[in-house]
Structure 1
Amino acid sequence: MNLKALRKFAAAGLLAVTGASWATIDLPEHTEPAWQDIASITWSTDGGSSWGNSTLLVGQSVEFKFTMHKTYDGRHYADFIKAWIDLDGNGEFADSETLLFGHNIVHSGAVANDGWGSVVNQSFDFISGPITLSSAMLGDHFLLARVTCSESLLTTAGITGDWSRQWLPAYVDDDNAWYNENFSPTAYYWQGQAQLVKLTVNNQVPEPGTLALFAAAMVGMGLGRKRALRV
């Protein structure tokens, strides 16, 4: 995780974490933003009408948006993004806690590994499905997002061969299932980026109008009690 990312989330009122009792993340050897960079992580509690880093409350339905940016298109098959959230609050990331898997197909057919590719300056948004925040989720949770490329996933999995192996039918299908299955929350990758964010789910706070009605009701109950005692 780079220093820029740490400062960014600290400034947003979030806690970007570098180490503790959860699973250790083997970060990529280099986080070259020319190919994959996590530009932002935001969320929406109003069905996607607005995005930001608002307080999370029990009862809300929340969707997460991950924005990936790249300066050059690169010479690989695809960029991949995957995110996990420890719903049980234990700081570990299980397959069942996968929040999102997405891809950006860079080249649908094999190309030569002959440079960085063309300047594109593109951003891609990936949005998770909604999660309803229950009272069982009160407290702290950790959100992990990672981006990498097809070549890095193959190399880490021990798949050998020439550059064109990224496009073989054994790894490429409509859902990119092989790449999804082999994208780990903790494995080392040659390139990419990882960001770990601490989220806190709080209790719903009554609106001022609700509090005023509650106070009026309590006062009314008190007056009624006094009248009853006078009779």
Structure 2
Amino acid sequence: MLKRLSISVLACLLFAGLSGTALATSYYDYSDATGYTQAKHSTADWQRLGRNWDAESSQKAIDTSDDGVSWSIDNGLTWGHKDLTAGQTVKFKFDMYKKEWGRHLEDHLKVWIDWNQDKDFTDAGETVYQAAWDFKKENGYQYGDGFAGISKSFFTSITIPDYAKLGDTWLRARVVCSADNPDLNKMTSTDYYWQGEVEDWKLTVNPVPEPSTMLLVGLGLGGLAVFRRKFQK
């Protein structure tokens, strides 16, 4: 009897341990900015930034699936993630992809930049863009139509403010449906929303080049041109 009881207790403890481990492992899409309060989502079945979405069991330093945010320093001729310069006007692009359409009315996009590098996005001027996508109205879809996916790019131009601290800082972009976040103005940069995705991108803000440096560069280029002409003769 005692032996049977011991085996039963051991089995129960083992099952509880395995169940506890299984229940403790939850997968989310996490924000990546080091030292910032976390944001996370459970599913991208309705909307996401870009085409890729990554389910993680814990927060990582950088989410390699991030692909929905880019910017241009030449007014949209080329897109990427280049360093910026204080006072520069930069064109940003945010790609939202809808895998499915549920019963919600809108998809919400909001973007923050931590200009003063104080590890949050709550200071004045740090909410840099927001938009709502009512694709039913734009595309004429009705609930139940079904589709393989549809994308939309959102563009905005942002001038690096004179109070922005130089060096590395972070941009956070987030998409969520209106079922989770009915009021776009109240959408937060942290905490949890069930649907959607969050992406963090490191921005490097460089100082404006000194006039003397620009002069030296110009003289150097001019001298090189003269040397080439002489060499060709």
Q: TM-score, normalised by structure 2?
A: 0.62
Matched residue, 1:189: 193
Is the aligned partner of 1:126 residue 2:130?
no
Secondary structure of 1:93's aligned partner:
coil
Secondary structure of 2:43's aligned partner:
coil
Change (3 A) 1:142 1:215: same
Is the aligned partner of 1:24 residue 2:29?
no
- For residues 166-211 of structure 1, the C-alpha deviation after alignment (integer angstroms, 9 at most, x for no partner) is xxxxxxxxxxxxx222211113111110011121112345799742
Cα RMSD after superposing both structures? 3.1
Over the matched positions of the two proteins, sequence identity in percent amounts to 32
**Which of 87, 96, 120 in structure 1 is aligned with 2:115?**
87
**Aligned partners of 1:212, 1:131: CA distance in 2, in Å?**
25
Shift of 1:123: 1.3
Aligned length: 171
Which amino acid is the alignment partner of residue 32 of structure 2? T
Matched residue, 1:99: 128
Matched residue, 2:48: 37
Indicate the structure (1 or 2) with the bigger Cα radius of gyration.
Answer: 2
**Aligned partners of 1:210, 1:121: CA distance in 2, in Å?**
52
Structure 1: runs of 5 or more not aligned:
4-16, 109-113, 155-178, 217-231
Change (3 A) 1:75 1:213: closer
- For residues 68-113 of structure 1, the C-alpha deviation after alignment (integer angstroms, 9 at most, x for no partner) is 11232332111111010111111201163111111111445xxxxx
**Aligned partners of 2:136, 2:150: CA distance in 1, in Å?**
15
Change (3 A) 1:130 1:20: closer
Shift of 1:41: 0.7
Structure 2: runs of 5 or more not aligned:
1-27, 51-67, 138-142, 222-233
Shift of 1:136: 4.5
Shift of 1:122: 1.6
Matched residue, 2:206: 202
**Aligned partners of 2:123, 2:217: CA distance in 1, in Å?**
46
**Aligned partners of 2:135, 2:92: CA distance in 1, in Å?**
24
Q: TM-score, normalised by structure 1?
A: 0.63
